[in-house]
Amino acid sequence: MSVGLIIYPYFLVLEPNSAEPAAVPDTRCTFRMLRADDVDEVVRVFAGHITPQKFVELLSRAECLGVFYDGKLAGYTWAQLDNVPIPAGLGQAVFELQPHEAYLFDMYVASPYRGLRLAGFLRRSMQSELVRRGRTCFYSLTLAFNRAARRFKSRLGARELELRIQLGLHLASLPGCDLRLWRRQPHLRSVGVRRIPAVKATSCA
């Protein structure tokens, strides 16, 4: 078994409210929510990025919006409505969401469609759908060293409100922790330090 230290610094980000979707860059673009029966197409287009099991599992607790180009799936993004999770936190939450809030995650555009500026339109379209349902405040997470993601969100007008770090070991039997390094106004409902409990070992038959 490999043993190593997990050090995962990340930002909690407040994304701007976009009630109206931006005009799509091309009339060949359409958007719709993805369903479980889209799993084969999702896995075919995004092979190596998501598995059938992961897609169906995510749909049980989150919502997925797809963008189509000439009728073909080109990208997707997700929204979770119950909490903002700790990265790899085994279900632990940084904080619970209120009825007007949503957590946006896993924006992905297939390589043949990159350069068409689909990511920003996909994000705004997801926000527009959520605003229609009364969700008007949006959060996301960004790995501190992911400069491309930070630039993308900055162009959208997002604000980094809190820097946190997740610490642990590559041993499921040992606990870890998630702690705040700094924050700015408006303060989020996160705690300064949250313990990530160890995973109980399971026996093999």
In a domain, residue 201? The reply is no
CATH number at residue 173: 3.40.630.30
Higher pLDDT, 62 or 202: 62
Helices 147-155 and 118-132, axial angle in degrees (round to 10): 60
In a domain, residue 69? The reply is yes
Tell me, what's the pLDDT at 175?
79
20 in Cβ contact with 184 (< 8 Å)? no
Q: In this predicted model, what pLDDT tens digit does every residue of 163-175 receive, in sequence order?
A: 999 998 765 566 7
pLDDT bucket at 18, cuts 50 / 70 / 90: low
In a domain, residue 202? The reply is no
Task: Return the percentage of the chain with pLDDT > 90, whole number.
Answer: 68
Structural domain for 183, as ranges: 5-196
Cis before 25 (ω within 30): no
In a domain, residue 205? The reply is no
Higher pLDDT, 24 or 202: 24
